[in-house]
Structure 1
Amino acid sequence: MYVPFEQLPPYSRIWVYQINRPLAPEEEAEMNQRLQDFVTEWSSHGRDLQASFSIKEHHFLFLATNEQVASASGCSIDKSVAFLRQLEQEFNVQLFDRTKLAFREQDQVRTVPMSEVKALVTAGALSPDSLYFDTLVPTVGELQNQWPKPAKDTWLARYFQSQ
């Protein structure tokens, strides 16, 4: 059962997928339609999930469920992954590459290979206050209140401890 993203309770579980390139407006519109169709039919063990989606910054896809209505099971999560793999094929994007990290740079999203983070910190190109799009955010509420957040407040803090 589809619910507008803004109407999901803050404790709703969220999955964040970083898109490897910005979506063009027409691609985003088509992907939004495909996502709406998917979440409308998404279920877990025969129970409809109260689910939603959002695409933000042309770079991030969010799927979310209100787990107080029905919890996503392994099978329903597998369905979502299969659906997202289809989107990857159709739109020629990558959604599951965790080797690139995204930061806000002025009004743009900048992706950085994880292997370069230490060097960028050393060079001063990334600071503790650099805004990081943490794909590990667990709930809609944390997404709304703390995203992006300073790198020093995420798992990236370890890169700034020796400075």
Structure 2
Amino acid sequence: MFVDYSTLPEDAKVWVYPSSRKFYPTEIEEIEQKVKTFVENWKADDENFKASYQFLHNRFIIFVADVSETTITNADIDASVSFILELQETYKVELLDKMNACFKQGEFVQYKELKDFKKLVKNKAVTGKTIIFDNLINNKEDLENFWEISIENSWYNRFL
């Protein structure tokens, strides 16, 4: 069942899908509608399942699901990945590569392959204070508190 994001508990499961590019203004409404429709129908036969999504910075699609009263099966995960693969194909973006670095430069979000990100660190184009998105987070509490953090406070600090 689709619910308002704010009603989900702090330990709700989170999946972050970073886009390799910012979505165009002409795409955003359509993508949000597709994501909402998917979440509304995801595990529709399970009345205990509560899920929502966030669409942030016109670049990140985030699924959030309360798994306290139900379980997420491999089939459920497969359904979500299939949906994400469809979005990738339709909009010609990469959404499943979580090992690329997403970080802020001013008000803009950058997406770089890890090898290019390492070069930026080496050349001091990004510093320990640069805000990075940790797309490997697992729950709503981490999304709200540890998703956008400085490089020096993230696992990316090994590249400093």
Q: 1:112 deviation in Å?
A: 2.0
TM-score by length of 2: 0.91
Cα distance in 1 for partners of 2:97, 2:104 equals: 18
Cα distance in 2 for partners of 1:30, 1:85 equals: 16
Counterpart AA for 2:46: R
Cα distance in 1 for partners of 2:117, 2:38 equals: 36
Corresponding residue for residue 98 of structure 1: 98
The secondary structure found in structure 1 opposite 2:97 is: coil
Cα distance in 1 for partners of 2:159, 2:91 equals: 34
Q: Per the alignment, do residues 128 and 82 of structure 1 end up closer, same or farther by CA in structure 2, a change over 3 Å counting?
A: same
TM-score by length of 1: 0.90
Corresponding residue for residue 46 of structure 2: 47
Q: 1:68 deviation in Å?
A: 0.8
Comparing 50-59 with 3-12, which one deviates more in the overlay?
3-12
Aligned 1:34-113 pairs, distance under 5 A: 34-43=34-43, 46-48=45-47, 49-113=49-113
Cα distance in 1 for partners of 2:8, 2:98 equals: 26
Comparing 119-128 with 54-63, which one deviates more in the overlay?
119-128
Comparing 18-27 with 59-68, which one deviates more in the overlay?
18-27
Q: How many positions carry a matched residue from both structures?
A: 159
Corresponding residue for residue 153 of structure 1: 153
Does the CA-based 8 Å contact 2:50-2:65 persist in structure 1?
Answer: yes
Does the CA-based 8 Å contact 1:101-1:112 persist in structure 2?
Answer: yes
Corresponding residue for residue 140 of structure 2: 140
Cα distance in 2 for partners of 1:101, 1:13 equals: 22
Counterpart AA for 1:47: D
Cα distance in 1 for partners of 2:157, 2:86 equals: 35
Cα distance in 1 for partners of 2:41, 2:111 equals: 33
Cα distance in 2 for partners of 1:54, 1:35 equals: 9
The secondary structure found in structure 1 opposite 2:102 is: strand
Cα distance in 2 for partners of 1:113, 1:75 equals: 30
Counterpart AA for 1:137: I
Corresponding residue for residue 23 of structure 1: 23
Cα distance in 1 for partners of 2:36, 2:119 equals: 41
* Residue ranges of structure 1 left out of the alignment (5+ in a row): none
Does the CA-based 8 Å contact 1:17-1:135 persist in structure 2?
Answer: yes
Does the CA-based 8 Å contact 1:65-1:71 persist in structure 2?
Answer: no
